[in-house]
Amino acid sequence: MTMSTERTSFHTLINGDKPVVVDFFAEWCGPCKMMKPILDEFKGMVGERATVIKVDVDKNPAAAQAYEVRGVPTLAIFKKGEIVWRKSGVISAAQLQGVLQPFL
């Protein structure tokens, strides 16, 4: 997949009606590694009601810059193209589900 295709897919995804949880991360980041099992658990909790994607800030610096990601991990919830919530750092699956609930 080319970068322009990835960018188009990302924008199509975040502009949809379904909320999208984006995990901005880096391979070298310890706390980011802690988020993987948490996000897996979270996906099991929300199922098809939300989409969860990961964006590597080192491979996608334009995305990190566009959304002003200053530290990793940074989680953001997009709804119809707008960031409706964001937080840097590790968060539990239950906390993330609680934050997402109003946007479902």
pLDDT tens for 14-30 read 998 899 999 999 999 99
Tell me the CATH architecture of domain 3-103: 3-Layer(aba) Sandwich (3.40)
Tell me which residues are annotated as active site: 29, 32
pTM of the predicted model as reported, rounded to 2 decimal places:
0.90
Q: Residue 44: its pLDDT value, please?
A: 96
Average pLDDT, the chain: 92
The pLDDT confidence band at residue 11, using thresholds 50, 70 and 90, is confident
Buried-exposed string 57-79: b where 16+ CB fall within 10 A, e elsewhere: beebeebbeebebeebbbbbbbb
20 half-sphere exposure, CB direction, 13 A CA radius: 20
Task: Please give, one letter per residue, the 3-state secondary structure of the chain.
Answer: CCHHHHHHHHHHHHCCCCCEEEEEECCCCHHHHHHHHHHHHHHHHHHHHCEEEEEECCCCHHHHHHCCCCCCCEEEEEECCEEEEEEECCCCHHHHHHHHHHHC
The mean pLDDT value for 47-75 works out to 95
Q: Is the pLDDT of residue 3 over 70?
A: no
Q: For residues 67 and 69, give the distance between their C-alpha atoms in angstroms, rounded to a whole number.
A: 6
Quickly state the pLDDT bin for 9 (edges 50, 70, 90): confident
The pLDDT of residue 50 is above 70:
yes
